[in-house]
Amino acid sequence: MSNTVLTFKEYKLNNKKISMLTAYDYSMAKLMDEAGVNAILVGDSLGMVVLGYEDTLHVTMEDMIHHTRAVARGAKNTLIISDMPFMSYQTSVYDAVFNAGRLVKEGHANAVKLEGGSVVCPQIKAIVDASIPVMGHIGLTPQSINAFGGFKVQGKSEEAARQLIDSAKAIEQAGAFAITLECIPAKLAELISKSISIPTIGIGAGSGCDGQVLVYQDMLSMFSDLTPKFAKSYADIGAQMKAAFRKYIEEVQSGIFPADEHCFKIEDAVIEKLYG
């Protein structure tokens, strides 16, 4: 594996930007790995973009293990970070270490990510003490959607901004190797990035972060239920897929597909014996 937690450290030191994408299956992970992305996040966004839930709250440990394993089979050079699902770490430090261990042992993740600030620092420290690298995640933390009252930009007021700054420092102190900053003002994300020695990975947090992450269905325009402002479309794959599906349907109906080159042959003599 050419990308490790040391890559994250080295990139921050050398002012190189870290690229990260989400993936949930073997084929997609392999494509991203071959393209050379530094890290793949098996995000609990799985619940929304793959499993079709309205939020991330219903994702289970079994879901995360299943999809992390698939990604791990496809990604050979990429650091694989697996999200700890809702209620797999909030309940206790013991649960956090136990479930982080499952994502590594059963899911073959290289690192885990969990949401929250100072409150989850005992969990972060304990997981790191078990030799499992941890990525923090602050700002818009989707597992808190019911507490936030929706998907909203975080850290705009002085108090909220101060809390994010303090959280970032506490997460660094707890031993995390990086922090995801989601949906916070760009200037604040830049200042937080400069104030800590571990890299920040932004999503909706501007160019001052040490790296970026996007959900692949967002960057390929494959998910239309939610279209956040920060999700740049790099290719309209959703539309291309729909066009391909329509063409296939037409060709099946008209008999154009399958053609000779898609068919298997049998000796005429065999047919003659069967049907004279």
Among residues 10, 106, 159, 182, which one is catalytic? 182
Compute the least distance from the CB of residue 257 to Na ion, in Å.
Answer: 40
Q: Does 28 bind ligand KIV (CB under 6 A)?
A: no
182 is known as an active-site residue: yes
Q: Does 183 bind ligand KIV (CB under 6 A)?
A: no
Name the one residue in this structure whose structure tokens are 């200042």.
191
| Dist CA 191 CA 61 (whole Å) | 34
Compute the least distance from the CB of residue 256 to ligand KIV, in Å.
Answer: 40
Is residue 83 a known part of a binding site? yes
Q: Which residue is nearest to ligand KIV, using beta carbons? A: 43
Q: List residues near Na ion by CB under 5 A.
A: 43-44, 83
Per-residue b/e over 139-169, b at no fewer than 16 CB within 10 Å? Answer: bbbbbebeeeeeeebbbeeeeebebbbebbe
Q: Does 203 bind ligand KIV (CB under 6 A)?
A: yes
- Amino acid identity of residue 242, one-letter, is K
Out of ligand KIV, Na ion, none, what residue 109 binds, judged by CB under 5 to 8 A for its kind, is none
| Dist CA 220 CA 218 (whole Å) | 5
| Dist CA 56 CA 273 (whole Å) | 61
Is residue 45 a known part of a binding site? yes
* Site mask for ligand KIV (CB under 6 A), range 214-243, x = bound: -x----------------------------
Cβ proximity to Na ion, 115 vs 276, nearer residue: 115
Cβ–Cβ < 8 Å for 80, 110: yes
Using the contact rule CB under 6 A, the part of the chain among 39-47, 68-76, 121-129, 253-261 near ligand KIV is 39-47
Q: Does 83 bind ligand KIV (CB under 6 A)?
A: yes
CA nearest neighbour of 99 among 84, 79, 78: 84
Compute the least distance from the CB of residue 225 to ligand KIV, in Å.
Answer: 14
Is residue 113 a known part of a binding site? yes
CA nearest neighbour of 119 among 144, 102, 98, 101: 144
CA nearest neighbour of 40 among 73, 61, 71: 71
**What are the residue ranges of helices labelled H in the chain?**
5-13, 26-35, 46-49, 61-74, 93-105, 121-129, 145-148, 158-174, 186-195, 216-219, 237-254, 268-275
Compute the least distance from the CB of residue 90 to Na ion, in Å.
Answer: 14
Q: Which sequence positions are flagged as catalytic?
A: 182
> Which segments are annotated as binding site for 3-methyl-2-oxobutanoate?
44-45, 83, 113
> Which segments are annotated as binding site for Mg(2+)?
44, 83, 115
